[in-house]
Amino acid sequence: MVRRLTLARLFYLSLAALAVLLGGLLFALFEGSRHAIVDSSEVLRDSASERVKERVERYLGQAETAVAALERNLRAGACPLAAADAIESCLFATAAENPNLSEVTFTHARRIGFGDDGEPRVAPEATWQTSVFRDRTAGGAQLCTRRTEREGERFVARVRCRQPERVLLAAAEARRIEGEIADPAEHLTFTTLASRGRSGRLIWTDLSYSELDLDLPEPERRVVVTVMKAIEDGAGGLLGVARIGLLARQIDDEIAAIRVNADPADPFRLFVCDAHGRLVARTSPADRLEDTGDDLRIAAAGLSPVIARAMEAPELASAAASSSLAHGRFVMDGEPYVVSFRPLARTQGWFVGVVGPEDYYLSSLRGTLRGLLALTIAVMAIVLAGGVLTLRALQRGLTLITREADRMHAFDFTPSPPRAEFGDVATVLASVEQAKTAMRAMRKYVPVDLVRHLYEANHEPELGGRLEDVSLLFTDIFDFTTIAETIESDRLALLLGHYFAAMTAAIQDADGTVDKYIGDAVMALWNAPRACPDHAIKACEAALACVARTEALFASPAWEGFTPLVTRFGIHRDRVMVGHFGAPDRLSFTAIGDGVNLAARLEGLNKQYGTTILVSETIERAANGQFAFRRIDRVAVKGKAVAAWVYELIGALDVSPERVAAARHYERALDAYFARDFAGALALLAEAQGDGPSRVLAERCRLLHEAPPPLDWDGTFVAKAK
């Protein structure tokens, strides 16, 4: 079918094109503004990280300045190496001038050459070390000098302390440190700097505990960042190695002093980490230090998830690889965040990180965009209203016709009186209503599933069928003829209508198809014409649902107090011929074959045993585990020479334990019967006088006990009647 452009579609396509155009303009405006704002926010973040970088590097630069001043004094001879007091005075003055210095240390050794590994060889008798450091126990209020030098065959160390302002006055008497003192010229801080090719180069360390606090507990040790340099004289001779330590806690203060925005509620966070995503500076006073192998790092207490996620961003690796500023973006909990990393000079691979929500800068833009969008929608609404008012008069009638056609397509044939403004539209709708009336009449005679199947397949029914695996159900009302004689015909028709409505609803709710009504009987099948994979289970569900619904009907006012009916069921599963049978111009969709006959015979067997629902062995096997069954007998139904097991459907798995126990008790008696133990079977059945199958089996056992069967007897019951 050729699809033609309608007036309404043309109108709406034009409006849609206009809306897309305006939407595109708004999107372009938003994206352009967003990029501009994001770029501006990037500048703010970069400015903040640059300020952190400058403050941290300025702080670290104090140590380099102190090293340079000490180097000048040593080369100029202002701090003669031969005079221990003079060296101490120089170091003391350097430490006193800058309260951020945790220590100023100078290690002297006379280098007499280099080993094969490039490390220096020194004359041990000329080695000494002088350190001026801030006394931790006095809160840093006084400076202490530690002098390490050789006495005989071992090194000794002495410490004396004084106030910073008493630099030129006499100090207290030195206190000797007990214990073994290591040769300072063998420590890495000396050998590394004094090795071949290292002289004259500044080398920074990472966070570490101060070497002068190693005899203190970890919580009391100072955390420092250290710069070291090997100092030579003009002739290339080694004067010694200078080591300046800075207190790391000041770095935390430098970072805390910087904010990205002036807003007091600024959500952006600054932090310092290494290339491995580990914090170097505290983010809160509660953070603590932890030893991670060769480095000290911050173990944050309650670290912000945003900072933790930022340190996992690939931009950190990018900044580490290129040693340059890197920007990135990530999404966390559905919210976008921006992040940047800037490397810090004079450090062991530290980076200043800045992270915050992208929407912080875009919220005002989104508000403006919403206003523009609302204005655009208002303009579009005005344009649309004028066109719709013109179009709706033409469209209303066509919509009514289309709606009724769609309802018929969905097999909804409910009557709906035509309400049209135009006469020709009303005529078309009246014709549709006549077609719906015919369909409503037809569905009362033909299974609606069959009609829907033929309609969807676009196939006209033809004589013939094919073998299908189906489950079949036959029902019958006990003693219906007698009941019918006591009720007026019109009242009987009404009651049967209520009865069949309940039965049909139960079967259809279980995906079954009512094939036909035969007087007071019902024939139904599953897995045709509509596929139903678990059709044996559905057939059992339908039988139990029929019992429940009819019991509810009999207790309702609609039954008008008449005697409740007793319905008997027969259920069987088999491959039978299913299709369209009858005359070429008058067809009936049904199933035929031995399987159909067996299902009908099972329903009739209920009379023999006093049961209401009997199923075949194929049903019991397919539905076992879903329902409770009782094995009744092995029967050769009328017209069949081959015997088959017959089962009673007791109910769902949650049926009362007493009924299940009674069923198992009966089955034990049945096993005794087949084993020719008729007396034992009678004993087991003695207590089940009110049970129909038990009465039948007991009577059979009494007769056989009195007149035993021949040796070829196998216990099969041959039904003589339908």
Within 8 A by CB and 6+ apart from 350, the residues are 272, 273, 274, 280, 343, 344
pLDDT of 534 above 90: yes
Closest CA to 295 of 216, 209, 215: 209
What's 259-357's CATH class?
A: alpha beta
Looking at mean pLDDT, say which of 83-97, 297-311, 329-343 comes out highest.
329-343
pLDDT one-digit tens code per residue, 79-104:
888 888 888 888 888 888 888 888 89
pLDDT at site 575: 96
Number of helices (H), then strands (E), in the chain: 17, 24
Q: How far apart are CA 540 and CA 570, in angstroms?
A: 10
The single-letter DSSP state of residue 560 is: T
CATH code of the domain occupying 462-623: 3.30.70.1230
Q: How far apart are CA 89 and CA 108, in angstroms?
A: 16
Q: Where are the domains of the chain?
A: 60-250, 259-357, 462-623, 651-722
Site of tokens 């491959």: 575
The whole-chain average pLDDT of the chain stands at 83
Looking at mean pLDDT, say which of 209-213, 412-416, 449-453, 555-559 comes out highest.
555-559
Within 8 A by CB and 6+ apart from 381, the residues are none
- Structure tokens, 13: 């396509």
Averaged pLDDT, 608-621: 95
Percentage of the chain with pLDDT > 90? 29
Q: Which fold has domain 60-250?
A: Beta-Lactamase (3.30.450)
Q: How far apart are CA 316 and CA 343, in angstroms?
A: 9
pLDDT-derived band of residue 358, with 50, 70 and 90 as boundaries?
Answer: confident
Query: Do 60-250 and 259-357 have matching folds?
Result: yes
- The residue that leads in pLDDT, 136 or 65, is 65
pLDDT of 649 above 90: yes
Range name among 46-50, 348-352, 439-443 with the lowest pLDDT average: 439-443
- The residue that leads in pLDDT, 662 or 11, is 662
CA geometry: angle 598, 602, 605, nearest 5 deg: 135
pLDDT-derived band of residue 257, with 50, 70 and 90 as boundaries?
Answer: confident
pLDDT one-digit tens code per residue, 668-697:
999 999 999 999 999 999 887 789 999 999
Look at residue 458 and give its three-state secondary structure.
coil
- The residue that leads in pLDDT, 165 or 465, is 465
Identity of the residue numbered 720: K
Three-state SS sequence of 592-637: ECHHHHHHHHHHHHHHHHCCCEEEEHHHHHHHECCEEEEEEEEEEC
pLDDT one-digit tens code per residue, 470-491:
999 999 999 998 888 888 888 9
Range name among 121-130, 239-248, 535-544, 551-560 with the lowest pLDDT average: 121-130
The sign of the CA dihedral 613, 617, 618, 620 is positive
pLDDT at site 250: 77
pLDDT at site 613: 97
